[in-house]
Amino acid sequence: MGSNGMSKRIRPYPILFVDHAPAMGGAEHSLLDLLQNLDRRLLTPHLAAPAGKLAEAATQRGITVHLTPLPRLRRSPHALINWHKGIRMLMTLADTVNAAAIYANTVRSAVYAALAARLGQRPFVWHMHDFWLTEERPSSLWPDTLLKQLLCAQAQLIITNSKATADHLPPNYHYVTIYNGIDPDKFRPQNNGRPFRTRFQIPHHAPLVGMVGRLRPWKGAHRFITLAELIHQQMPHVHFVIVGGTPLSEDDSYTNKIHDQAVAAGLGNRCHFTGHLEDVRPALAAIDVFVHPGDPEPFGLVNIEAMAMQKPVVAFAHGALPEIVVEGETGFLVPPGDVSALAAATLKLLQDAQLRQRMGKNGRFHVLQQFSKERMVRQIEQNLLTMIEQA
- Closest by CA to 360, choosing from 389, 320, 323, 332, is 332
Which fold is adopted by the domain 184-370? Rossmann fold (3.40.50)
Give the per-residue pLDDT at 317: 98
pLDDT higher than threshold 70 for residue 365: yes
Architecture label for domain 13-181+372-390: 3-Layer(aba) Sandwich (3.40)
pTM: 0.90
User: Distance (Å, rounded) from C-alpha 307 to C-alpha 189?
Assistant: 9
Q: How close are the terminal C-alpha atoms of the chain, in Å?
A: 11
Say if residues 20 and 106 touch (Cβ distance below 8 Å): yes
pLDDT, mean of residues 344-348: 99
Cis peptide, bond prior to residue 184, ω within 30 of zero = no
**Residue 347: half-sphere exposure toward Cβ, Cα within 13 Å:** 16
- Over residues 83-115, the pLDDT tens digits come to 889 899 999 999 999 999 999 999 899 999 999
Give the per-residue pLDDT at 162: 96
- Domain ranges in the chain with CATH number 3.40.50.2000: 13-181+372-390, 184-370
pLDDT higher than threshold 60 for residue 4: no
% of the chain at pLDDT higher than 90 = 79
- Over residues 169-203, the pLDDT tens digits come to 888 899 999 999 999 999 999 888 999 999 999 99
- Over residues 255-301, the pLDDT tens digits come to 999 999 999 999 989 999 999 998 999 999 999 999 999 999 999 99
pLDDT higher than threshold 60 for residue 125: yes
